Amino acid sequence: MSVMSVARARGEPKKSSPRRQGKHVEHMLLAQRGFQHTLIALGDLYRAHQIDALEQVLGVHVEHLQAGA
């Protein structure tokens, strides 16, 4: 019986390897970076007064704020 089988039989939780944890962190960082780029792109559309495109991307009505309001 392997060490993992014995640990599992005792009810110990499965431990993820440092390599697997590293991959998880890497994927989280990539997702965060992608989300940041998306927010920046949405802000660019808003600042360029491309409200129709912004509404199409978001699927909701966007109230257009006047500068200085």
Residue ranges covered by each domain of the chain: 15-69
Phi and psi (nearest 5°) for 58? -80, -25
1 contacts: CB under 8 Å, gap ≥ 6: 9
Q: Which residue has the higher pLDDT, 60 or 16?
A: 60
**What is the structure's pLDDT at 69?**
44
How far is it, in rounded angstroms, from Cα 66 to Cα 21?
Answer: 46
Residue 14 has pLDDT above 80, yes or no: no
**What is the structure's pLDDT at 12?**
72
Structure tokens at 49: 């007064």
Q: What is the pLDDT of residues 18-69, one digit of tens each?
A: 677 778 888 888 999 999 999 999 889 888 888 888 888 888 887 765 555 4
Structure tokens at 8: 């599992």
**What is the structure's pLDDT at 2?**
65
